[in-house]
């Protein structure tokens, strides 16, 4: 892995975090009065909510669990990066890392307080769930990781040539 590839991965993660946090700030101001904005009728709209749990408000009484798991992941990824053997896996990992960091910031910094902050969600997908930019990065990242696995490109350790 070259330093240039590592720098690109950091940039990808930072773009995700900045886009996520900026869009959440926008949502807090634009949708803070309970307003909803329809984008594609009932299929896609913007509506502000605060999520203490994971997707679909799973385990919303156990926010600290997600904070702990996210912290371990976010702090652990830099130690795994040298083991990545392909650039696509590195960039996909950066996308996932940025998404995890974006939501972790909310859990650490937002009400009701450290480490049980609620994640700002505002993109409503019909009646399925409400998410945010970090969630999009996580879903796209994991989908790409699955595709890379199907193609056989997800080796996390360098293969020795025989």
Of 42, 60, 61, 135, catalytic: 135
Alpha carbon distance 67, 105 (integer Å): 9
Q: Is residue 20 annotated as part of the catalytic site, yes or no?
A: no
Q: Is residue 135 annotated as part of the catalytic site, yes or no?
A: yes
Does residue 96 contact residue 145 with C-beta atoms inside 8 Å?
Answer: yes
Of 42, 60, 61, 121, catalytic: 121
Measure the CA angle with vertex 113, ends 109 and 116; round to 5°: 90
Alpha carbon distance 10, 15 (integer Å): 9
Structure token pair of residue 23: 């869009």
**How far from 111 is each of 42, 52, 115, CA to CA, in Å?**
29, 10, 9
Which positions are annotated as active-site residues? Answer: 121, 135
């Amino acid at each position: 892995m070259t330093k240039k590839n590592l720098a690109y991965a950091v940039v990808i993660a930072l773009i995700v975090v900045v886009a996520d946090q900026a869009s959440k700030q926008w949502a807090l101001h634009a949708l803070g009065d309970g307003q909803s904005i329809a984008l594609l009728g009932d299929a896609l709209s913007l509506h502000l909510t605060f999520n203490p749990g994971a997707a679909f408000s799973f385990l919303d009484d156990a926010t600290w669990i997600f904070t702990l798991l996210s912290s371990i992941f976010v702090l652990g990824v830099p130690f795994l990066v040298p083991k990545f053997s392909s650039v696509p896996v590195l960039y996909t990992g950066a996308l996932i890392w940025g998404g995890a960091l974006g939501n972790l910031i909310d859990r650490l910094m937002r009400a009701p307080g450290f480490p049980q902050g609620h994640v700002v969600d505002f993109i409503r997908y019909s009646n399925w769930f409400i998410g945010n930019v970090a969630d999009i990065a996580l879903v796209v990242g994991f989908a790409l990781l699955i595709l890379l696995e199907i193609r056989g490109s997800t080796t996390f350790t360098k293969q020795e040539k025989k």
